[in-house]
Amino acid sequence: DILDEYTTRPERRKGRNTPKHTPQQRSTSHPYEKWPVERRVEIGTQVALLPFDLLQRIIPVLWDGCREDIRETTEEACVFDFLAMRDAELDKVQKALAQCV
């Protein structure tokens, strides 16, 4: 049908056709500046080693302060991805840890 030709148009692509830099340049363009991997691991370990009563107090702070894509609940546990957290989220975690201890 001639009308279909005019009413259905191809989907527009958003963004560039070609990436601006090589994959290596893109991977190093936003490194962990304030919270390097070592500090992220350290704070995750600190949270994991908290006594149960302190852990119960800090989990709601962690849950509210983190994006949905980096937190998850299972039947037995709450799981947080400390490596994927933004610096501001890790700042909140550190502040909550300081208040607990």
pLDDT confidence band for 57 (50 / 70 / 90): confident
Rounded CA separation 35/4 (Å)? 54
pLDDT confidence band for 65 (50 / 70 / 90): confident
Tell me the percentage of the chain whose pLDDT exceeds 70. 66
pTM, whole model, 2 decimals?
Answer: 0.58
Angle between helices 37-48 and 52-65 (to 10 degrees): 130
The letter for the amino acid at 37 is: V
pLDDT confidence band for 30 (50 / 70 / 90): low
pLDDT in tens, 7-17: 555 566 566 66
DSSP string, 34-81: SS-HHHHHHHHHHHHTS-HHHHHHHHHHHHHHS-GGGEEE-SS-EEE-
